[in-house]
Structure 1
């Protein structure tokens, strides 16, 4: 491993729950880790206090001198400190709503011909605009089932161990991308994560899309925890309608989803039964949700195929009404 874990520079954009979790665990195995936050205040607190990681094995990941914390707003103002070495991997760990033209320009400014971008977003749509700006050969995708909850600006709780799948959607320069996939998988395993390469990222991304599109909008509309959706025949019927429509769309696009996906949707609901979905949290905090990239994208793709998806259209319009 000529680019061994201890010689890598990783940049993590986004210091929410997953961003802080991955930063805390990757910090000891990287020669340099840069965390890019949305606010100046969080960047300063991280610089001063480090990251406190709470989990089955509570630990505190103090930020070493080789680790840089900066905010996106500082970069825009031109006051950011130059990085010591070029970046090997950028982990994009913000919501789709945060992927603005300005953020894409910032990402481009941080990349060299040796830099690869790994996207951890839910839903679909971001892959098109990022590929247009960066190129498919520099673009990887990740689906993770790691559980994390941000306790504060510098604290995160590891709520459940999972697995992270990585792969590409467009196989340009296949030998080189597989080479770098192996590097990042080894690095994640060195940090204590379970990671695997996947040749079926499109199916994995669509499976995650289905789970989020079925669970999140209903919990946000009904203002309930995830598990409550399983307690009523009425909510189960709504879930099934959303699910069947996405299956119809996937088949029209030639995507074969797992036959057990409906069972998986219910299992996720049960496993996270006391959770407030991210969409419900956004609604409660009067923030814009990711509905445009979940059910909104599903409806748009249905329109392109000439397929009516009334259940997804209804929940999409209801969430947009609630947002406004």
Structure 2
């Protein structure tokens, strides 16, 4: 297949490299002014990918979006005019809400949503390390997308395990609840994920999970708060030494994905009149930290 990776950061580079190794024609679309982007994965041989090449973009059968959620709309909209209407769009990023903002612009494409638990770290402009084996689930956002289950097989062949999930909203909401519980708290308290196992955070985490699952249930995604809380603690222990992506963004004074994680829960709560005081407080704390950087500049 002809595949374009929009956003060749750590995860995007990981997918680009693996898909190239599987025999696909892969190009990337990133911020680098260079015509090619060089990627070395885990000390393997360097691969040169065409970058920001309109000819490759026009030929794309599949565009995989691996940007930060807040970057997606601005980066993708100018590219849509170059894409064939049959080009499949796969959104593979943290958080929720980006696709809704783009709905009218992308609905004529087959659209897929995905979630991945792979870990990747960018060591330099070209070197990437695969830091954690995970799994990827993809599923349909629209009717055209529901006819593209073969993409799961294509990706699985390149980068196992990848599975098709026709109930992808359940998987996305489950990950969202986990992110709501872990990301803001690790960012605010400047700690690794494992730090949240301390009893001081117990009540706060339980409230975050209860509020977020109530929002999920309201939009027709059935999640049980007790089961989700158990899952959150399993992730906290399994990733104890990791720093969450939001921790890294706040620590390095970069814009976080709070609007598409906790902010998405807050937006659903407002739509349905659900009280989410714990999530709302965390949302405002992160936004306050972000706005303080501008005040000090």
| TM-score, normalised with respect to structure 2 | 0.91
How far 1:252 sits from its partner (Å)?
2.3
1:154 maps to 2:163: no
1:127 maps to 2:112: no
Does the aligned pair in 1 maintain the 2:57–2:82 contact within 8 Å?
no
Q: Distance in 2 between matches of 1:99 and 1:68?
A: 20
Q: Which runs of 5+ in 1 are unaligned?
A: 1-7, 71-79
Q: Out of 255, 261, 278, which is 1:294 matched to? A: 261
User: Where do residues 200-215 of structure 1 align in structure 2 (5 Å cutoff)?
Assistant: 200-215=167-182
Q: Out of 272, 284, 291, which is 1:317 matched to? A: 284
Q: Which runs of 5+ in 2 are unaligned?
A: 292-297
1:244 maps to 2:210: yes
How far 1:127 sits from its partner (Å)?
1.6
How far 1:155 sits from its partner (Å)?
1.1
Q: Out of 52, 63, 69, which is 2:51 matched to? A: 69
Does the aligned pair in 2 maintain the 1:29–1:187 contact within 8 Å?
no
The answer for the alignment partner of 2:45 in structure 1 is 60
The answer for the alignment partner of 1:5 in structure 2 is none
Q: Distance in 2 between matches of 1:108 and 1:284?
A: 34
Change (3 A) 1:131 1:81: closer
Q: Distance in 2 between matches of 1:158 and 1:266?
A: 24
Does the aligned pair in 2 maintain the 1:10–1:30 contact within 8 Å?
no
The answer for the alignment partner of 1:88 in structure 2 is 61
Q: Aligned residue pairs: how many?
A: 290
How far 1:52 sits from its partner (Å)?
1.3
The answer for the alignment partner of 1:74 in structure 2 is none
Does the aligned pair in 1 maintain the 2:110–2:148 contact within 8 Å?
no
Q: Distance in 2 between matches of 1:195 and 1:31?
A: 17
Q: Out of 10, 33, 46, which is 1:17 matched to? A: 10
The answer for the alignment partner of 1:76 in structure 2 is none
Does the aligned pair in 2 maintain the 1:9–1:30 contact within 8 Å?
no
The answer for the alignment partner of 1:165 in structure 2 is 137
> Where has structure 1 moved over 3 Å in runs of 4 or more?
none
Does the aligned pair in 2 maintain the 1:20–1:155 contact within 8 Å?
no
Q: Distance in 2 between matches of 1:125 and 1:161?
A: 26
Change (3 A) 1:300 1:261: same
Q: Distance in 2 between matches of 1:192 and 1:125?
A: 26
How far 1:20 sits from its partner (Å)?
0.8
Question: What secondary structure does 2:19 align onto?
Answer: helix
